[in-house]
Each structure stands twice: as structure tokens, then as C-alpha cells.
């Protein structure tokens, strides 16, 4: 019965389990038979898992003799991107990201790479690596470089997926710029800035440890990564550095945008004050005049004059118009 | 009599004092007999102290031949997290933290680790390591790696306790975000931001030196830490780096929150000014009209007119309503 | 027919393809014959391409045996400045910049340098390197140092083009300073500051990786760069460091300018408030007086007095003038 | 005569000049006879100077063969903390600090340490090292480690004096916090913040170079510092790092306090505006009503009505009270 | 004729050209005869140039066999401070600074130092090194250490000239502090802050690369700098580090001053608002009363009362005084 449940389980969790020789897929293997295949030094096994159960991971551990801690890490998907050496094998953790309806979905992928095997463990991330695998299978002269190249192919795919993510964030920054410089200052813009900062930090946290990971894959002597695949990891390194730079750039611009936004709010405040002061001054004139002629003195010459009323109205209106032009010219209205 | 007082003292200060062989607890030992046990190279002694008196520490010093400075440090519990080598033995200082009713309680734990002994000294921190010890005793295949593994087990426990602490701080940040973006700007929010900053700095001070401590435990040749326990310290290292990153992240978001808060206060100020200006303008109309018809000119046609009074009231109200809609549309009211 | 299309293609894409010996141009070579020329160790080939097609690049790759990844990079022109070693040959990526009607145009140039060849690949950047080449040809004693000197000559030319760019940015900063300290605070100035920050970041991104590139050309043993050309790359290094410093300086001043701008907006706001308060106080006097004498009490002595009206006017005007001087002196008007 | 003046001079400038053997003071020595004592390799000489004249320093230089530059430095007391090696001897500069009536007094102490001598030169700092010396003399088993331990004892004393200084600064920060969060924003608080920043920078400048000084004393091979005193300097190093951290912490909190202060000033400004607007609205009601009934229309029904006056007063007061509650509820009053 | 023009030229450009042996000036040499003097290994030549023409530099280049690039740099005086090794000779660039009527004048000095020569090239900087030279000549025991000591003497002189410059900047900061905390916020203060920031950046740019220059002179093996002059360069290094620290300190305080200034502007704005609100409230009372008794109701008891007028005035004045004290006590006036 254990076998049956295993079969069922495999259907979901084990995406692929195949042996490759000379860069070509030579056989699909049962997980339980992997140790047989591993005896042939000219082959390597590529296993792709998706959110494996503890049981599956245990079987993988037994087949390849992996370290307890690596398996523990592979099960609980909340790791920082990192690379660890356990004897001759390495354990790599990457975080994946995709844009999904203006929202960034993060996932996680783990790699166990050894002498003649590579195991990829996908968590949460929705994009399958089936395409990467088939692309590799279409260029056997590259895949013949071994499991190191398979590792590169998937890493390159994961890293390249960050470019649209960062592009999306740059677009959001531009939208914020438009809001700041074209529209009025608003609570929404401030909140957008804050949200973008949050997203940038999240992406940075996922990408920046990759610099060190790629660096180690490029420089240090790791037995299971063949010498000739090194330039490929340097290429991934370049991409990672570029993504980091783009994120850093966007972050610095965002900080400036926040400050510019703040300056503009103050200028806007200034404008309100000036406008208010200007209109208050204009309205003060007729009010003062009206008060003046509302006094109850017995002897006020104009009051007796027949056209006094009209004369006063005319003068008042003239004064208001004069004030209006004066404020208009000095930019208060 | 000295022995009696020692017995009494031990009851409180010495939590455990046991010998382990092959990963299994083989005997409870008297502190005074420890040097006997140490002669057997296949055993190691694990002593757990809690706020020991100077006397107890002196006895421990004599039993293991510890350095004066380390004992002095272990007595006065105000150290930075650090690791120090004294010949073949090491002295490690860690700071512990727990959330206690929305408040962070900090404690301190010191370790003396030598060839075949480990002494843990707890200060202030209220959580006992009894559970860790019993968990270790339940997996003898791990504990058989020696006192290095015991050190790892307690360190891992201490570091893992920082996750809920940091989580609590992240929750507080979210509460602050809600206050900022949903409610009105208030003095309380500003004070909360300041308090959170204080807590973050405190946690950072406790955690960030751990990066160096773990690093040294992982990399350098330390005789009393067996080679095979190194990957375990690398695991602790990973956790420490992640906690550091979370704190750093929260801190950067908090800074942005402080600035966003500030922007929103200014926008709010702007709104008050606009509202005031708008209503002042609306009220200025009837005031001006009233002043106008309060003038004492002898010849003012409308005044004599029977319906003048009503006509003026109507016109004034109409003007006010017009102004109201005008300001409403331009967002001043 | 392939040859014909090649000829046509060359006309546009292949600017030069010449062999140099002893620092002098000895022959123009067909791209297809380059491998013949390369056999003579005393010569080196200099090929200049401009936005080459995939076909041309493939031919170049075959002639010189270049690495797939470098060719891929050379085709898609969106690289960070970098230097990469592939065996004995190096691949260098630089970003170029020119001021074009107050706008910075960025381009990209790639170099393949090997044992006795140098290939330059220009992308987007509009300035041709024909002048650099002819200048090199006019000082054969320098060009005789080999392809390393050719690389230096073009790099030096590219780096020197950043000086007018940075100068332009410094001019813009000065214009912003004038706006801030001489004119009124305005939205335009804030937007200019933001735009300048954007440009500075762009230039910095293009220049700062050059420090590392030049450093490696100066220090490490690279076979295809002769020992005696090293001081020249140190010279380029110096220029790059200076440009970086100028950009950094401008950026720091810009940040201070942003804050100064903000202070001045607040002071300006302060001035508006004071002016408004001052005038409001002056206008409040006659308004109060008018209201006072507008009361309907039966017994108000001045009202009956014949010159009351004039006396009141005089006193009111006097009070206003007094207030005006008072506010003038205390800086509120 | 030179001898006489020397005697007189010594009385003030030369605090102690004694020879130590096996950790015990064996003799008081004349400065001129020191070279005699130095011949005995089992002894070391400890000389304590206080603001020595050029003459005294010259004699010291001759007795121990010190370098010109070190003597020059020791005379002009405006050095950065540093350690310098001159052949087998070292020259150490420290800055001292004490709290003196809420004011920090800085001083300077220089050390010349060689094969079997230590010279301490005190400048300005008012606390004498007599206590340190006598404490050393009371634990001969420690002082028998040589002049290296004497250096440690004084350095430890100097560094420990920074703790009350930093504590004082932390107290000041707490006072500022109380001012900010409990009282109204004031000019004094802003000035206090600035002053505290100044003090923090001063302390940081005095302490931070000590990290490097202690590091070199701990790590590098310095002949005149015996191997067994190294852990002691590591202890000083720990204290220095902790002081640095405390200063850094206080500085970061101070920056946040400055920003929080600023937010609260703005909120306070907001409150003033709201209060003013609220009361202005309440006062606008009776003003408008009074103006209304001050109009001179011939036909205004209420005016003729006997109780009109009282009815209007009642309605106006009612409207004011209504407005008052409305503003109270929405937090404007 | 060439010789004549050379003579004339020398009069201006070549300040000194002398040979030194055993620390004493032994002969004045013609530039054309220098190669003769260089043959004697016990002598060194010291040449001082001031803004030399291309011709003079070419002659110097020929006499000492200097590198093209160094000569090119020495001619165009816009270099960063740096040190470069060309074989056995070194080329050093320093920037000089002096205070000149509250203005900082920057200059540049270049050094060529080789086996037995030192050439100093002054640009723009107005202070001559004649004094340094004569001081060196007065202490032959030091100058006998060779051209390395001559280099030190001039460098020390140049670096020491930065102290008054930095002192001037510190004075300016204090003036700004006085403006901020004692006077009213003003545009001038903001502009002064900006100007000081500019000056600080300029000085920092001139001084900070010196750390690296001095470091290399102290640490690396440079043949033409004798071992025994190393401590002297360490002394210059110390001064440079101190100047850097002072600049950095002033810069950090300036940033805090900018923010404090900003806080005070806001508090000042707050004061204006409060004062305005307070006086507006006081003036509102008589205005309301006047309006009240200006109503035209037929039945208003007080109006008929003979002393109504005086009673109302009294009450109004009393209310105003009451309000005044109320606002005074709560700090609004």
C-alpha cells in the first residue's frame, strides 16, 4: 500500500525524474531506482519536485545521502537566498517573483546539486520549469556540460523573471511622478509611495543575497560545477547586479520623489495662504467703506450729497479692481 | 557549615549538573566532584546555572580552570554578545529576548565551553533551557557529537525566540501604518513611531553582533567544537542574518512611515486652510451686503423699495450657494 | 550572392577592418581573410563595427574564436559596464554619453581584445571613433605598443566625453541654485531638482562600474594588454574616479539644495502669514472705529459735535500709520 | 643650578618615578638615574608626568631614546587617539573625558611603553592615576606581568570613565524626549537637541579611534606587551565597542527625536489653525446677524416687532452653541 | 637665442635648482647641467618650478627621464591628489588651500621624486615654499635623510595649511549657529548653510584622497623614500586624518543645523499664527459689540439708557483685557 500512496503522491509532487547522458534525456526513472542510475558516472539525474511532502523529501534524502539540515530547509519554505556546501554537494535557495495583476507573487526554489544529480524543489512559485528543461534538451551540446548547466539554466530563468518585476516597479514610480508633478498633492500619492517602498524592499531582499550566491558559484572550486560552466554563472551574476542597481536606483529616486512631494505640498499650502490673503484684502475695502458710511455722525458731507451713494460705489469697485491687478501681478492670486 | 550553605545555594543557582556519554545522561554530579568526571575523555559535563553568586562562579572557575576576565564578565550581566577564545576554551555571551505583554524582556546567557564541558549561565531571562536539554536527551545520536552540539541547541533556541519578537515589531509597524493612512495625524502615532524605533535599535543591538559570533563558530578552528557540528552553526548564522534583515527592513519602512506621516500632516494642514478660506469667503458675502445697506446715505434707491429687503436676502443667499458649489468643485470644501 | 549581401552589409556595419604593424596601418583586410592576417604575430587587426547584424557577429566570432556569451552580450546592447576574461581574450563593455541639446544621449560600446586583435562594437552612440583611430595612426610609436594601446585610446576618448556631460549637470545645479536663492519657490524648481537627480543617477550608473574595470586593467595580469600600456589605463582610472567624485559632489549639493529650497518655502510661508497678519491689524482699526460710531445709542457725545467726523477720521488714519511703522520695524510688513 | 630647577620642576610635573620588580614597587628613582635602573632586565620603570615642560620631555627622551616625532606629539596636546610603533617601543595617545557639572571635560593622556619602562603623560585631564597605580601595587601577581599590564590598568580606567559620560548623554536624551512628547514644542528643545548632537560627536571622535588602537594591541606582535596581557586589552576593546554602540544608538534616536519633534510642531500648528478657524466661525454668526439687522431698509418686519430684539439674540446664541458642539465633536476646538 | 629665452623663462618659472649633499646646499645648478650632478650618488637635486611652460617641463623630462603621462598631468593643473609609481620614481599630486579674505583659494602642487632628485611644480597656489626650503637647510641632520625628507617637509607644510582653513569653516558654522538660535530665521542663514556645505565638500575633495597617498608613502616599499623617513609620513597621515575628521564633523553638525533651522522656522510660523489668532480674538469683541448696538431694532433697552454708551464701552474694554491675560498666560501672545 505504501507503494500505491507513493505513486499517487508522485503524480502531484514529482514533476520529472529523468536521466541525462551526453546532454540527451535517456530515460525516465522511478525515484526508488535513482541510486542505480547514479552508479553510471556518465549520466546525471534531474529531479523536479513541487511542494514535496516530508515522505518524498525523505526518500530523496536517502537516495542522494543529503544532510539533515538541508532537507529541513527544503521543507520549510521561508529561507533567505543562499548557497551552502555540504561536502561535495551544494544546496542553493532562490526566491522567485512574478507580476500578477499589479501585484508581486513571491515563491521559492531550492536546488540540491551533487556529483551527478540535480534536484529542484519548487515552493509556491506558480511558473513551472518545464520550458527551461525542454530548452535545455534542445541544445544537447550545452546540457552535456552536466548538472552545473542545468542549475545555470533554471537560475538564469528565475533571475530573468525579475526584469519585468523591476520594470513594473519603475512604471509605478513614473505613475507616482506624474501624480506628484501634474496633479495636486494627495493622501493617495503618499500611500502609493509607501507601498512602492515596501515592494522595493521585498524585491531587494530577494535579489541582493544572489550577488554573493553567484559570486561563490563563479569563483570557488565547487566540484560538482564543471569549470566550463563558470562563465555562465558570471552571466547570471551580471544580471543580478543589474537588477540590484535598478532597484537601488528606483529606491533613491523614490526618496527624492517623497521629498519633492513634500516641497510641493508646502508650495501648495503657500498658494492657498496667498490666495486667501489676496481675496481677504479685496473684500476688506468695501467692508471698510460700508462701515465708514454707516457711522452716525450728524455732519458727514457726502451723505447729504445726492450722488454720494453712486460715487462711493464707483470708487470702491475701482479700488477693488486695482487691488486685484496688484495681487495678480505679484502672483498672490 | 560551608558545605551546607553551598547545598542551599545550589538548590537555587545550580539548575543541573550532569555527565553525558554517547549522547546519554549517565549521572548527576556534585559541582565539587566535576574534576573527577572530566578525567574520562568520553564524557562531557553540562552545568546550568541561574544568576550564580560569586562563590558558585569561583568554584566553577576552579573546577574548569577558567580565565579571571571571563568569570568577571559572567558575573556582571551587561555584556555585548561576543565570543572569546581563552586557550582551548571559549566564552560566549548572548542576549535573549521574549515578548511579554507587548513589551520586550531582554536577558543574557553566557556559555563556557571547553574540551569536555559546557556551562550555561542564565541572567534575568525567564525562560529555562530545561526543554532544550530534554529535547537533546531525546536525540542521543545528535547529542553524541559532544558539548558543541549542546551549545548549538541552546543558541538555536535563543535565536529562534527572536522571531516572535521581530514579528511583534512588524505587527506594531502595521498598526502604525493603519494609524497613519486611515486615521488623522496624531501625537500618539508619532510617539508610537519613536517607541518602535527604540525597540528596533534594542533588538538590533542584541542580534547584529551574533552574525560575527556565528561566523567565527562556523569558520575558525575551535578545538572544543567538533567539525561535524559546524553546519549547525551555519544554520544559526542563517537565522541571525534573516532576523537582522527583518529588523533592518522594518527600520527602513519605519523611516518612510515617519516621512509619510509628515506629508499627511501637511496635507491635513492644507485641508484646514482651504476649508477655512472657503467658509470665510462664503460668510464674507452677506457681511459685505449687510454693511453696504447699513450705510447712512440719504439717497439709496433699494432701501426705499418695499421688497428691497427680500430681494437683497434672496440675492445674497443665491451668491452664497454659488460660492459653495464653486469651492466644492475645486476641492476647497 | 552571399558575398554580395555581405559586401552591402559591410558598407554599413563594418566601419574599418585593418591590419597594423609597428604602429602603422599596413593593409585593409576583408573580414573573411582576417584569420590569415592573425598568423603573423607582429601584426594586429583592428575592426570597428557599428550595430552589427547577427550574421556579422557570427563571422567575427568564427574568425577570432570568441565565446558564445560574449557574442550574445555584444548583440543585445543593454549591458552594465564590465570586463570579462574568456581564456586569453577579454570582453569590455562601456557606456558612452554625450550632451545633445540639454539632453544626455547614452550609447554603448563593446570591445573584444585578444592576442593580436581588437574589435570595437558601437551601439546607438552617435560619435564615431574614426578620429581616435587617425590620431593613433599619427603617433605610431604609441600604437606600436599593440592592441592594448588601441583599447586605451578609445576608452580614454569615451571617458573624456563624460567631462562635458558632468559639466552640463553642474551648470544645471547652478541654475537651480539661482532659482532657489534669487527667485520665489516654485513647482518648476522642485521638478528640475528631481530631473537632475534622475540624470545624475543615470550618469553614475554608467561611470561607477568603470572604476572596477580600469582597476582590473591596471592591476591583473592580462596577457593581451602589454605591461607598458598599464600606466595609460591608470590614467583612465584617474579620470573615472574624478568624474565619479564630481557626480557624487553634485548629488550631495543637490540634496542640500532640496532641503534649502524647502526651508525657503517655509520662510516664504512665514512671510505671507506675517504680511497678512500685519495688514489685517491695520485694517481692523478703521473697521472697529466705524463699527463703534455706527452704534445707535441715543447719547454719544462726539456724534453731535460738528467736527467729530473729521477728528475721528484723523485719529484713525494716525493709528493706522503708527501700526504700519510698528509692523515695518518688527519685520512683519 | 640646572639640577635645582629640575628639582623644582619635578615637584610639579613629575608625579611618580618608580622602579617595579616582581609586581612590587622596589624604589623611587631620580629621572636622571633611570638609565641605571633600565640595565636590570627584571625591573621596569613607571614614570607619571603631568603637563611636562619641554625640558622634562627632553630628559625623558634622552633617558629612553624616544623618537623626535613622538616627543613632539607628547608636547602639543591635540592629537587623535592612536598607537604608533617606533622600533620596539610604542607611543599611545588617548583622550579622557569626565562629566563636570553637566559639562564634559576632555583631556589627553600619552603613553610611551618600551622594553622595561612605561611613561604616562597627562594633559588637562584632572583625574590623577594615583589610584590606579596603588590598585596595581595591591595586586602584584597581576602587575608582575610587566609594563603591559600597567598600560592596560590606566587604559581600562580611562575607558571606564566614558560610561558615566555616555550615561549622562542618555539622560539628556530622555529629558529631551520628555520635552518633546509631554510639553509644547519650543526653541529650547531644538537647541538642546543640537547641543546633544555636538556632545555625541565629540565623544564619538574621542572613542571610535580606540577600536583600532585596542585591536592592534590585541592582535599584532608587539614585543613590549607580553602575550599574557593580550586578553586584558581584548576586554578594553569590548568596552570601547560597547561605548561606541551606545553613542551610535543615542545618535540614531536623537535623529528620530528631531524628526518626531518636527512632526509634533506641525501637528501643533495644525491644532492652532483648527482652533482659530473654529472660533472664527462661531464669532462670524453674531457678527453677520448684527450686520443684517443694521441694514437701513425701510421695511424689515422683525425690527418693528416688540420682542424681535430678544428673539434674535436667543437664536444667535443658540446657533453659536450648536456650532461649538459641532466643532468640539470633530476635534477642531 | 634659445638659450636667452631659456634664461628669461627661468627667471620666472624656475625658482630654485640646487644640489644638496649631507643635508647642505652645495651648489646652484643650471637646469641643463642637472644630469651631470645626478651622476654623484651622494647628492640630490632639488628643483622648484612655478607654472612652468611646456618647454621647461620638456627639459626637466629629458634631464630625469620622466614618463609622458606624468609630464602631461603636471602641465594641466586639474588633477585629483594622488601618488603614482613610474618604475623607481614617483609622481605626487597635492591640492593646496589658503584662506584669503573669507574665501578659500585652492592651488595645486606636483612632485617628481626619484633616486636623487625632487622636482616641485607649483600651480596657482600663491604661497611659495622658499621658507620650507630654508627651514630644511637649517636642520641638515634631517635633510641628510635625502629627497624623501624634502618631500615630507613640503607635504607637511601643505597639509598644515589646511588647519586654518578648517578652523575658518568651523567659525562659519558657529556664526550660523548664532544666527539660527539667537536671531530670526532668514533666507541669508539658509544660503550661508548651503555655501558652507559647498566649501566643506571642496575641502573634503582636496583632503580625503591624501589619506591613501600618505598611507602608500608609509607602507609600501618605495625605493626613493628612505626607510627612516617613513615615521614622518605617518605624522602627515595623522594630520590628514584629523583634518578629514574635522571636516566630517562640521558637515554632520551642519546637517543637524539645517534641520534645527527648519524646526525653528516652523515654531516661528506657529508663533505668528498664535499671535494673529490671539489679537484677532481680542479685536473680535468690540467689533461684535459695535455691530450688536448698531442693529436697528425699535426696542433695545440699553440704547435708550443715558449711560448705556459708557457702560458698554467699559464692559467691552474689560472683556478685551481679560482675553489678553488669558492668551498671555497660555502663551499665544
Which residue matches cell numbers 614618463?
A: E67
Chain C: give the shortest CA distance to residue A79, in Å. 29
Of D249, D277, D280, the CB nearest to B201: D249
Helices B230-293 + A230-293 axis angle, to 10: 20
What is the predicted pLDDT for the residue at A304?
A: 73
Residue B207 pLDDT > 90, yes or no? yes
pTM to 2 decimals? 0.86
User: Are the Cβ atoms of C79 and A299 closer than 8 angstroms?
Assistant: no
Nearest CA in chain C to A274: C272
Nearest CA in chain E to C253: E198
Residue C254 pLDDT > 90, yes or no? yes
Q: What is the pLDDT of residues B271-286, one digit of tens each?
A: 888 989 898 888 888 8
What mean pLDDT is predicted for residues E121-148?
87
> pLDDT band at residue D300, thresholds of 50, 70 and 90?
confident
What is the predicted pLDDT for the residue at E8?
A: 47
Chain E residues with CB-CB distance to C284 below 8 A: 283, 287
What is the predicted pLDDT for the residue at C72?
A: 86
User: Are the Cβ atoms of B294 and A294 closer than 8 angstroms?
Assistant: yes
Residue D302 pLDDT > 80, yes or no? no
What is the number of other CB atoms lying within 10 angstroms of the CB of residue B38?
19
As a whole number of angstroms, the distance between CA D286 and CA D296 comes to 18
Q: pLDDT averaged over consecutive 10-residue blocks of chain A (333 residues)?
A: 44 82 88 83 89 88 87 82 88 91 89 91 82 89 89 93 93 93 85 93 93 86 83 91 93 92 89 89 86 78 75 90 91 82
Chain A residues with CB-CB distance to B237 below 8 A: none
Of E190, E300, E308, the CB nearest to C263: E190
> pLDDT band at residue D126, thresholds of 50, 70 and 90?
low
What mean pLDDT is predicted for residues D166-178?
94
Nearest CA in chain B to A278: B277
What mean pLDDT is predicted for residues E124-150?
87
Residue E2 pLDDT > 80, yes or no? no
As a whole number of angstroms, the distance between CA D200 and CA B258 comes to 23
What is the predicted pLDDT for the residue at B236?
A: 92
User: Are the Cβ atoms of C291 and E296 closer than 8 angstroms?
Assistant: no
Average pLDDT, chain C: 87
* Run of H or E residues at C134: helix C130-138
Q: What is the pLDDT of residues E276-310, one digit of tens each?
A: 989 988 888 888 888 888 887 777 777 777 777 88
> pLDDT band at residue E7, thresholds of 50, 70 and 90?
very low
User: Are the Cβ atoms of A269 and C273 closer than 8 angstroms?
Assistant: no
What is the predicted pLDDT for the residue at D229?
A: 87
What is the predicted pLDDT for the residue at C207?
A: 93
User: Are the Cβ atoms of C291 and E290 closer than 8 angstroms?
Assistant: yes
Q: What is the pLDDT of residues C153-162, one digit of tens each?
A: 999 999 999 9
> pLDDT band at residue B88, thresholds of 50, 70 and 90?
confident
Chain C residues with CB-CB distance to E307 below 8 A: 299
What is the predicted pLDDT for the residue at C126?
A: 67
Which of D259, D276, D332 is best to mutate for the B interface (most B CBs within 10 A)? D259
Chain C residues with CB-CB distance to A297 below 8 A: 293, 302-303, 308-309, 312
Residue D109 pLDDT > 50, yes or no? yes
β-strand A104-114 against A117-123: which pairing, if any? antiparallel
| Interface TM-score (ipTM) > 0.85 | no
What is the predicted pLDDT for the residue at D124?
A: 81
What mean pLDDT is predicted for residues E53-77?
86
Residue B239 pLDDT > 60, yes or no? yes
User: Are the Cβ atoms of E190 and C284 closer than 8 angstroms?
Assistant: no
- Specify whether the CB–CB gap between D57 and D74 falls below 8 A: yes
The answer to whether D253 faces chain B, any CB pair under 8 Å, is yes
> pLDDT band at residue B194, thresholds of 50, 70 and 90?
very high
Average pLDDT, chain E: 87
User: Are the Cβ atoms of E300 and C300 closer than 8 angstroms?
Assistant: no
* Span of B189-193, C320-324, D43-47, E83-87 with lowest mean pLDDT: E83-87
What is the predicted pLDDT for the residue at C15?
A: 85
- C-to-E residue pairs, Cβ atoms closer than 8 angstroms: 120
Between positions 183 and 202 of A, the ones with CB within 8 A of B are: 184-187, 190-191, 193-194, 197-198, 201
The answer to whether E284 faces chain D, any CB pair under 8 Å, is yes
User: Are the Cβ atoms of E197 and C256 closer than 8 angstroms?
Assistant: yes
- Specify whether the CB–CB gap between C19 and C37 falls below 8 A: yes
Average pLDDT, chain B: 87
Q: How many Cα atoms occupy the beta-carbon half-sphere of C170 within 13 Å? A: 14
Q: What is the pLDDT of residues E98-119, one digit of tens each?
A: 988 878 999 999 999 998 899 9
Residue D187 pLDDT > 90, yes or no? no
The answer to whether A128 faces chain C, any CB pair under 8 Å, is no
Contacts of D92 (CB under 8 A, 6+ apart): D82, D83, D84, D110, D111, D113, D151, D155, D213
Strands of chain D (E only): list them: 14-21, 24-28, 43-50, 82-86, 89-99, 104-114, 117-123
Residue D115 pLDDT > 50, yes or no? yes
Which of B256, B262, B271, B303 is best to mutate for the A interface (most A CBs within 10 A)? B256
Chain A residues with CB-CB distance to B234 below 8 A: 69, 84
Of D265, D283, D312, the CB nearest to E288: D283
**A43-50 β-sheet, strand order:** A24-28, A14-21, A43-50, A117-123, A104-114, A89-99, A82-86
Return contacts of B311-315, CB within 8 angstroms, 24+ apart.
B312/D295, B312/D297, B315/B289
The answer to whether C277 faces chain E, any CB pair under 8 Å, is yes
Q: What is the pLDDT of residues B1-27, one digit of tens each?
A: 344 444 444 456 888 889 998 888 988
What is the predicted pLDDT for the residue at B11?
A: 52
Nearest CA in chain A to B246: A205
- Backbone φ, ψ for residue E113 (5° rounding): -120, 130
Nearest CA in chain E to C245: E205
* Run of H or E residues at C101: none
> pLDDT band at residue C2, thresholds of 50, 70 and 90?
very low
User: Are the Cβ atoms of B296 and A291 closer than 8 angstroms?
Assistant: no
Percent of chain B with pLDDT over 90: 39
Between positions 287 and 316 of C, the ones with CB within 8 A of A are: 287, 290-291, 293-296, 300, 302-304, 306-309, 312
Q: What is the pLDDT of residues D50-98, one digit of tens each?
A: 988 888 888 889 888 888 888 888 887 778 899 988 888 899 999 999 9
Which residue matches cell numbers 532668514?
A: E186
What is the predicted pLDDT for the residue at B126?
A: 67
> pLDDT band at residue B115, thresholds of 50, 70 and 90?
confident
Nearest CA in chain E to C184: E187
Residue D7 pLDDT > 70, yes or no? no
What is the predicted pLDDT for the residue at E126?
A: 67
As a whole number of angstroms, the distance between CA E289 and CA C297 comes to 12
Q: Which chains touch A (3 or more CB pairs under 8 A)?
A: B, C
Q: How many Cα atoms occupy the beta-carbon half-sphere of C144 within 13 Å? A: 5
User: Are the Cβ atoms of A297 and C286 closer than 8 angstroms?
Assistant: no
Residue D33 pLDDT > 70, yes or no? yes
Amino acid at each position: 500500500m505504501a507503494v500505491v500512496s507513493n505513486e499517487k503522491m508522485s503524480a502531484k509532487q514529482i514533476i520529472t525524474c529523468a536521466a541525462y547522458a551526453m546532454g540527451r534525456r535517456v530515460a525516465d526513472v522511478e525515484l526508488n531506482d535513482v541510486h542505480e542510475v547514479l552508479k553510471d558516472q556518465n549520466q546525471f539525474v534531474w529531479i523536479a519536485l513541487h511542494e514535496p511532502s516530508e515522505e518524498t523529501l525523505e526518500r530523496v534524502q536517502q537516495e542522494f545521502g543529503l544532510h539533515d539540515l538541508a532537507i529541513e530547509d527544503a521543507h520549510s519554505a521561508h529561507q533567505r537566498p543562499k548557497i551552502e556546501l555540504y561536502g561535495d554537494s551544494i544546496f542553493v535557495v532562490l526566491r522567485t517573483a512574478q507580476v500578477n495583476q499589479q501585484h508581486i507573487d513571491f515563491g521559492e526554489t531550492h536546488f540540491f546539486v551533487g556529483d551527478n544529480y540535480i534536484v529542484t524543489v519548487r515552493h509556491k512559485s506558480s511558473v513551472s520549469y518545464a520550458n527551461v528543461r525542454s530548452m535545455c534538451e534542445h541544445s544537447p551540446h550545452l546540457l552535456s556540460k552536466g548538472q552545473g548547466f542545468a542549475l545555470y539554466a533554471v537560475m538564469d530563468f528565475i533571475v530573468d523573471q525579475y526584469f519585468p518585476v523591476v520594470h513594473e516597479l519603475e512604471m509605478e514610480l513614473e505613475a507616482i511622478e506624474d501624480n506628484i508633478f501634474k496633479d495636486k498633492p494627495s493622501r493617495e500619492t503618499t500611500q502609493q509611495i509607501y507601498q512602492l517602498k515596501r515592494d522595493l524592499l521585498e524585491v531587494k531582499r530577494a535579489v541582493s543575497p544572489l550577488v554573493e550566491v553567484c559570486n561563490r558559484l563563479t569563483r570557488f572550486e565547487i566540484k560538482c560545477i564543471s569549470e566550463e560552466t563558470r562563465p555562465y554563472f558570471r552571466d547570471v551574476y551580471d544580471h543580478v547586479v543589474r537588477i540590484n542597481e535598478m532597484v537601488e536606483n528606483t529606491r533613491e529616486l523614490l526618496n527624492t520623489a517623497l521629498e519633492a512631494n513634500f516641497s510641493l505640498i508646502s508650495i501648495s499650502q503657500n498658494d492657498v495662504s496667498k490666495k486667501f490673503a489676496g481675496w481677504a484684502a479685496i473684500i476688506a475695502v468695501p467692508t471698510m467703506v460700508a462701515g465708514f458710511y454707516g457711522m452716525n455722525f450728524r455732519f458727514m458731507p457726502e451723505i447729504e450729497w445726492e450722488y454720494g451713494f453712486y460715487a462711493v460705489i464707483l470708487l470702491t469697485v475701482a479700488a477693488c479692481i486695482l487691488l486685484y491687478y496688484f495681487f495678480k501681478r505679484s502672483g498672490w492670486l
